Amino acid sequence: MKQILITLMILFSTSTLAEGQLTKNKQLVIDFYTDVVLAEDATHIDKYLGPRYIQHNPMVANGKEGLRALLRSLPKRDKSAGPSGEIVRVIAEGDLVVLHVKSYHWPQPNGGAIVDIFRVENGKIVEHWDVIQAIPEQAKNTNTMF
């Protein structure tokens, strides 16, 4: 009986620690996306990205400089109008955090639905994947993409 209680305590403790780490990872990615991507502001990149940043989007180079170059290439917009989109959902499992994002004006005038996947290691974002779908003028159903 004592062994069962010890095992349950270890499992509960590990689960609680894991939940705490998931919460930290989610907040890191939310803050990064808000401060850097949605604000289109490269000045905070070093705060959030690890020294080795692997990029899986074939249109963006690896590393922090690849992200900086992407942000520089974006059309200039009036930043006083607010962010360029919004985070709709956040999902985390293990070392991965997934964002479901509504982009207001990109990749088409109607915006886009984006799924970004980030891998977090030692409190920094170290890897990124994404899938981007333009929001059409007319949908063939009454569901939204969000």
- Percentage of the residues of the chain whose pLDDT score is greater than 90: 73
**Mean pLDDT across 2-13:** 48
The Cα–Cα gap between 129 and 146 comes to 19
The pLDDT of residue 76? 80
The structure tokens 């803050």 sit at 31
Sign of the alpha-carbon dihedral angle for 47, 65, 109, 80: positive
**Mean pLDDT across 15-23:** 79
The structure tokens 């689960």 sit at 15
Determine which helix (DSSP H) or strand (DSSP E) holds 11, and give its type and residue range. helix 2-32
The pLDDT of residue 7? 45
The pLDDT of residue 17? 55
Give yes or no for residue 8 having a pLDDT over 70: no
99-140 confidence digits (pLDDT tens)? 999 999 888 888 999 999 999 999 999 999 999 999 999 999
**Mean pLDDT across 37-45:** 94
- Could you tell me the pLDDT band of residue 19, with boundaries at 50, 70 and 90? confident
Give yes or no for residue 91 having a pLDDT over 90: yes
The pLDDT of residue 2? 56
Give yes or no for residue 11 having a pLDDT over 50: no
